[in-house]
Structure formats: structure tokens, C-alpha cells
Homo-oligomer: A and B are copies of this chain.
Amino acid sequence: MSPTPPHDPSFGPDLVEVFGPQQTDGGPELVQLLTPEGERVHHPEFDLDFSADHLRGLYRDMVLTRRIDTEATALQRHGELGIWAQLLGQEAAQIGAGRALRPQDHVFPTYREHGVAWCRGIDPLDLLGLFRGVDHGAWDPAEKHFGLYTIVIGAQALHATGYAMGMQRDGVVGTGDPDRDAAVVAHFGDGASSQGDVNEAFIFAASYNAPVVFFCQNNQWAISEPIERQSRIPLYQRALGFGFPGVRVDGNDVLATYAVTQAALQRARDGQGPTLVEAYTYRMGAHTTTDDPTRYRLSDDVEHWKLKDPIARVEVYLKRNGLVDEAFLADLKKEADELGHHLREGCKALPDPEPGAMFEHVYAEETEELRVQREGFAAYHAGFESEGAR
């Protein structure tokens, strides 16, 4: 019943071409506008004229974001934070993405989007609460158009898609009014691309043509696991299989990231549907302050990526072109120092929640049983305090 076939047909070249080796430098498809050496290059699809103000602004954002990160890392070392998720090396990806937003756009971040939070006008001090253990996020997501940090990997990609579907229903997509049309950005990492939720988000977004930009920071690592464990081809290509465009951008190039995200957002706002942006970057630090990357990766790699520092290249460009002067840099340094001071003092002053706060906001409408537990706890606590410790 199952004869041996006369010849074994093999799959033609068009079926295997996707198996190209992982390009160590992002490959020819990498969209770049500013080289690691600080040279401005051009791209046929994604290019923009950046004003001097704009460039200085992006530079300032990155410098201050890095300062937030180093301060928080230090605060963790000093025991003021339980843990901190560093973004070192990913400043350009985040500032490029964050600054491409319009006020009416909405963002769903992971736990590492401190730079995007900065662009959304969130006081960096408000980011520390989660890591200090005093809250799960201190800002109002609706007011800031910036969701709470999501820790369950990938879950927010679906929230973003649903939010975008809500925008469609609100009639704020494709009207042509730039102050009205809106889109959503879903942030996630390379590791997250393996989660069912992220892939389902691709499916829903494609199916409903939802105005959402999937912004994946491929920082090459998911804790100890290299990107090769998650995908054998460049991640941006994942989108093609779901029927929407994917772009790989140099995530250490703030100009390119800005340009690509901006275009993807505009596409979404115009009603043309989702895009996957893969920001090709590198996690220069540990996964979090509790991680020890020396167990699983070579310091050579880190050294290699140091040469691609996202801030240094803009600095070189700005200086070489006389777009910054000493006064600007001195002001910025002062601003960073003040920010550092604000974070250090602010963090230590963050009050612990009242114990009774743990009973609050479980529901919009508290249940009778929870009221009883809350009051029982309060009485127990009160009795305990008046009695003194056993």
C-alpha cells in the first residue's frame, strides 16, 4: 500500500531560503540612520530630517534615561529596591519608540520600559515602587496612556490588541485627523515572542486589522537563553507569516528606531493595521540585579556591543556637527544629577503601604466577606499593638 517512490522529491529552494544564518550584525535588512561611529546614513524607506532640537532632545532623553537606570541599580545595591530590571544599552530603542508616540497613543509596557515611561511623562520615582515593593505601579494608566508594567511575559500583547480594537470602535482610526487618529504600542522582548499570547495577539491584530505596533526589543537574551533558542530566523520575519509587515531596525540607533516606529504608528493610525518592529539591540547589563550573566555569556560579546553604544554615537554626531556646546552638556549633566538626587531621596522616602491597604481595591465593589476580613485584620492589628508583641 505504501510503495517506495521512484525519487524522493525535496523541497525547492524557495521553501528553505528562510533558513539563512542568524546575521551577527543584524544583517542587511537592518534599518539604520546613524552608524555606531556616529555617521548619518540614509535609507530608501525610512528616513527623516531631524532638526537640531529634535536630535538634542533625543540625546537628552537617553542620557537621563541611563541616569535613571544607573541610579535605580545603585539603589538596589544599597538595599533600597528589592530588584531592578536594567535597560542599559536599550536607551535608543526605548526613546526612539517613546518619542514617536502622539499623546493619544497608548502603550503597554513590560517591566523594562523605563525609557518609554520617561517619554510618557511619568515621574521616574513612580517606577521604583514596584521594585521596592510598595505598590504595583503608581501612575494612572488612563491618564498617562501608559499601562502598568506587565510581568507575566507576553500577556500585554493581547491587552494592546484589544485596546486597539477599542480604538477602532471609538472611531479614532483612519479619520485623517492627526490629533484624533490613535494607535497602540505593545512592548515585549525576544523571549516573549515564544509565548502563545504574543502569537495570538498577532492573529487577532491581523484578523481585525487592529491599529497596534508590536515593538519587540530583541536584546539577544531572555535571562540566560540566547535568541537562537526562541527563533532560528530573524524575529521581524515572524510577522510575515501572520500577514503583516515586520521590520528590523537598529535598536541602538535612536534615529532609525524613531523613524521606523513613527512610520509603523502612522500606518496603524491610518487604519492599515499592525506592524512588528524588531529593535535589534543588546542587554548590556544583567537580566535583573539578581542575575549573574557571567554564568552563561561571554564578556567578549558584551565588549563587542559596547562599541555600538546608543548614546555615544549620537554624542559624536552632535559634537562633530557642532550641534551641542559646553553649556548644553553642562546643563544636561546638572539635570541628570538633579534627577539622580530626586530618585535617591525620593526612593528612601517612599512610604511603606499601610498593612490594611492590602484589602483595598480587590474589587470595585467590596464584598461583605472581604469587609469582614479587613475589619478582623484591623481589630487583630489594633489589639496586637495595644497588647505589645508576644
Q: How far is the CB of A323 from chain B (nearest CB, A)?
A: 15
Would you call A77 an interface residue if the criterion is a C-beta within 8 Å of the partner chain's C-beta atoms?
no
Would you call A8 an interface residue if the criterion is a C-beta within 8 Å of the partner chain's C-beta atoms?
yes
The segment out of A66-74, A124-132, A191-199 that lies at the interface is: A191-199
Would you call A15 an interface residue if the criterion is a C-beta within 8 Å of the partner chain's C-beta atoms?
yes
A197-B196, A232-B207 are known contacts. Are A6 and B49 too (CB-CB below 8 A)? yes
Complex CA gap A12/B46 in Å reads 9
Q: Residues of B contacting A239 with CB < 8 Å?
A: 241
Q: How far is the CB of A311 from chain B (nearest CB, A)?
A: 17
Would you call A285 an interface residue if the criterion is a C-beta within 8 Å of the partner chain's C-beta atoms?
no
What are 21 A-B interface contacts by the 8 Å CB criterion? A1-B99, A2-B100, A2-B101, A3-B50, A3-B54, A5-B48, A5-B259, A5-B262, A7-B48, A9-B45, A9-B48, A12-B44, A12-B45, A18-B243, A194-B203, A195-B200, A233-B243, A237-B243, A238-B241, A239-B241, A240-B240
> Which of B1, B57, B203, B247 is the one whose CB lies under 8 Å from A15?
B247
Contact with B along A335-352 (1 / 0, CB 8 A): 000000000000000000
| The 10 A-B residue pairs with the shortest CB-CB distance in the complex, in nearest-first order | A196-B196, A241-B241, A199-B199, A15-B245, A233-B243, A232-B243, A238-B241, A5-B48, A6-B49, A12-B45
Q: How far is the CB of A111 from chain B (nearest CB, A)?
A: 21
- CB-CB contacts below 8 Å: A197-253 with B: 197, 199-200, 203, 206-207, 228-233, 237-247
Would you call A267 an interface residue if the criterion is a C-beta within 8 Å of the partner chain's C-beta atoms?
yes
Q: Residues of B contacting A195 with CB < 8 Å?
A: 196, 200
Q: Which residue of B lies closest to A43 (CB)?
A: B9
Residues of A bordering B, CB below 8 Å: 1-3, 5-12, 15-16, 18-19, 44-51, 53-54, 57, 61, 99-102, 194-197, 199-200, 203, 206-207, 228-233, 237-247, 259, 262-264, 266-267, 275
Q: How far is the CB of A43 from chain B (nearest CB, A)?
A: 8
> Which of B45, B199, B243, B275 is the one whose CB lies under 8 Å from A231?
B243
Complex CA gap A8/B272 in Å reads 14
Q: When the two chains form their complex, are residues A200 and B207 in contact, meaning their CB atoms are under 8 A apart?
A: no
Q: Residues of B contacting A197 with CB < 8 Å?
A: 196
